[in-house]
Amino acid sequence: MKKILSVVIIAFILSCSIKQKAADGKPGEDGGKQLVEKQEVNLQSTNRTIVEAITEEAIKKSMEYLASDELGGRATGSEGIEKAAVFIEDYFKANNIKPYFETYRDHFEFKNRRSSNPDEVIKGFNVIGFIEGNDPKLKNEFIILGGHYDHIGMGKEVNGDKIANGANDDASGTIAAMEFGKYFAKSKTNKRSILITLYSAEEMGLKGSGHLAERLKSQGLDAYTMINFEMIGVPRAADKSMAYMSGYKRSNFAETLNKYAGKEVVGFFSKAKEMNLFMRSDNFPFYKELNIPAHAISTFDFTNFDYYHHVDDEASQMDYKHMANFMNSMIPALEGMMNAPTKEVVLNDE
């Protein structure tokens, strides 16, 4: 009995010694093998979270550039919006998001009716990325995700600052669309194809999204749904849904997304119709031209952020934990909708 007990004690001591060495990064031969095998199992079981989750750090990195003074408020036609477009294009390339057209840019021109010179022609461009679906049939149907990457340029001066950086409006929505693009390009879990569509000239009357919607219609694109991410940089009150959807009753989109998310990510905002939000953002041209469920999702409800079109709409004002939580909550919602065997999101009669 004493011999057996001695063997057990010695084995226990050796086991502890091996584990300690492994923790110190200097495992013995057997201990190292066991540790590696354990790590491989852990990585396999959590691979989706480690490799594909959207992080606060990634969001903040993009935000601190897109909403920086270097870009001068990203007014359409400015040097700053050109820099923003290059940044987005480089992001697409780095994350294997392909161009949908010959290049990433979708060019358009329009007369600036708000200028002192009504004949002034503004040249703008949307930035469009493409992620092909993995189903031989469903890949011919398209999900459109987007946000506007322009802003107003200069605003009313406050403490010597004139640059309206547009962090919440709408670098936040732009980054959401970019991050979803990165996620699906890497995970390849989408059966339907995806367009990541980032618009300029939203602030000048939805010119960019209007042009793209018309172009896609003329090409006969089989568009299923469109989601426009508009100002998602700040959280709503704890007693409200995480986000809300404009035109909530125009389709069963919110119901469908929440079903796949397993919780209420997208709720109803009673003032959205009163404020005509459905027609005021980049979802509307797609609804109008393509006759599809097209909505804006936002977490800004005019009570939780004081700097709409204000020079203090800065990267430092954004809640990155909230943004990451919102985006990660949306992933299963988007996957469920885009991988369903039929087009279950439909327009309602209103």
* Contacts of 114 by beta carbon, 8 Å cutoff, 6+ apart: 204
User: pLDDT per residue over 280-330, tens digit each?
Assistant: 999 999 999 999 999 999 999 999 999 999 999 999 999 999 999 999 999
Token pair for 63:
């935000």
What is the Cα–Cα distance from 127 to 164, expressed in whole angstroms? 21
Q: What is the pLDDT of residues 116-152, one digit of tens each?
A: 787 889 999 999 999 999 999 999 999 999 999 999 9
pLDDT range class, residue 114, cuts 50, 70, 90: confident
For 268-331, what is the HEC assignment?
Answer: CCCHHHHCCHHHCCCCHHHHHHHCCCEEEEECCCCCCCCCCCCCCCCHHHCCHHHHHHHHHHHH
Asked if residue 34 has pLDDT above 80, the reply is: no
Q: Which residues pair with 226 in a beta bridge?
A: 144, 294
- Which H, E and C letters describe the chain, residue by residue? CHHHHHHHHHHHHHHHHHHHHHHCCCCCHHHHHHHHHHHHHHHHHCHHHHHHCCCHHHHHHHHHHHCCHHHCCCCCCCHHHHHHHHHHHHHHHHCCCEECCCCCEEEEEEECCCCCCCCCEEEEEEEEEEECCCCCCHHHCEEEEEEECCCCEEEEEECCEEEECCHHHHHHHHHHHHHHHHHHHHHCCCCCEEEEEEECCCCCCCHHHHHHHHHHHHCCCCEEEEEEECCCCCCCCCCCCCEEECCHHHECHHHHHHHHHCCCCEECCCHHHHCCHHHCCCCHHHHHHHCCCEEEEECCCCCCCCCCCCCCCCHHHCCHHHHHHHHHHHHHHHHHHHHCCCCCCCECCC
Mean pLDDT of the chain: 88
**How far is Cα 124 from Cα 303, in angstroms, rounded to an integer?**
32
Rounded to whole angstroms, what are the CA distances from 322 to 135, 149, 169, 210, 263? 33, 20, 16, 30, 16
Percent residues over pLDDT 90 in the chain: 81
Quote the pLDDT of residue 350: 64
For residue 146, report the phi and psi dihedrals to the nearest 5 degrees. -160, 180
Instruction: Tell whether the model's pLDDT for residue 22 goes beyond 80.
Output: no
Task: Kindly tell me the sign of the dihedral angle through the C-alpha atoms of 293, 104, 163, 64.
Answer: positive
Tell me the whole-structure pTM to 2 decimals: 0.85
Banded model confidence at residue 219, pLDDT cuts 50, 70, 90? very high
Rounded CA gap, 222 and 321, in Å?
35
Report domain extents, the chain: 2-43, 56-339
| pLDDT at 39 > cutoff 90 | no
The pLDDT of residue 176 is 98
- The answer to whether 21 touches 31, Cβ cutoff 8 Å, is yes
Distance set, CA 239 to CA 235, 258, 267 (Å):
11, 17, 11
* CATH number for the domain running over 56-339: 3.40.630.10
Q: What is the greatest pairwise CA distance in the chain? A: 101
